Amino acid sequence: MRIWYPSPESQKIAFVIQAGNDFPPSIFQALLPLNLNLTLAVHSTRPSVHGLNVLTSNGHREFSYITPSIRTEPRDLPSSYLECNVIHLLCSPTRAMLQISEILRLRDKQLPRPIFVWEPSPRSSKRINWDSLLEAMQLVDIILPNHEEAAALLGLVDEDNKDSNVYEKFLTKDMLNSMVDEFISHPIGIHGDGCIILRAAYAGCLVATKQERRHIPAYHENPSQLIVDVTGAGNSFCGGVAAGLLKTNFDVFEAALYGTVSASYTIEQLGVPKLKGLNDTGKELWSDEDGMPEVRLAKLRQRIRE
């Protein structure tokens, strides 16, 4: 999200850091120059959250926590955070419903309802949770699973006997459309007119409402250059979508373009993209070549037209 909001506009981005007693000061120092609206919550009696990513040769990822997670609860947020126009949730269906209810209870009643973007957590993406997912979908404006999570929720994979190669078949155009058909046949949003953005790794994403759907290809600045690391690309996509919703008057199809560009920066190096500096006109640069996201956004639109 930060690449779309240069400083000082970057202060619009609310970021909570749950810091355990082993939280590296270097990470906090790296975040400070980004000029985000930071809230640091220090937990002196417990470790920071650590996770383990295991990536297979075909891009499938298995994630597990190796320390207990530290949840961010709505009641712990500054009131200004609760006034945000777009709120992204990454959690189970049951927790999504609880979080939304609590946010709306604590939020200033004079404000319009925020846009809720919900990413079902991988651990909760199981067929047994389908009914609760349908219930949660009615409270959010956009549901944002990836192809693996969608397939698991739809019962298309055997939870007790699966290998990392099983998910490859869900990246075909026909399978992506079939999965979207099932989701969109149920109400999304409080008025039933919400959207699904199905993330599909190197196949891009499929954006669908009941009236329209569009496939958006993945973006790589230099197609001849190898992708360095896909870790965090999905997170970056979600942040870009949030920024795009705000910058395009909540146009979900345009917002997905912003998400695609955000993800493109993440795959180019180990770790998160780094701010390289300013160009001659004072614009922020995020890579060594064509470092302005607006340039990549224009190129992505051109590729789609072609």
d(CA 142, CA 75): 23
Q: In angstroms, what is the C-alpha Rg of the chain?
A: 19
pTM, entire model: 0.94
The residue ranges of DSSP E strands in 43-120, in sequence order, are: 51-55, 61-65, 86-91, 115-120
Which superfamily, per CATH, for 78-305?
A: Ribokinase (3.40.1190.20)
Q: What is the pLDDT of residue 143?
A: 98
Q: What is the pLDDT of residue 221?
A: 78
What is the residue-averaged pLDDT of the chain?
92
Q: What is the pLDDT of residue 290?
A: 64
Peptide bond into 112 cis (omega under 30): no
Q: What is the pLDDT of residue 59?
A: 66
d(CA 254, CA 74): 29
Q: What is the pLDDT of residue 135?
A: 98
Evaluate whether 291 touches 300 at the Cβ level (below 8 Å): no
Position with higher pLDDT, 269 vs 50? 50
User: Which residue is it, tokens 């993800």?
Assistant: 263
pLDDT digits (tens, 9 = 90+) for 123-181: 899 999 999 999 999 999 999 999 999 999 999 987 765 566 778 899 999 999 999 99
Q: Are strands 61-65 and 51-55 parallel, antiparallel or unpaired?
A: antiparallel
Q: Where does CATH 3.40.1190.20 sit in the chain?
A: 78-305
pLDDT digits (tens, 9 = 90+) for 184-239: 999 999 999 999 999 999 999 999 999 999 999 999 877 767 788 888 899 999 99
φ, ψ for residue 26 (rounded to 5)? -65, -30
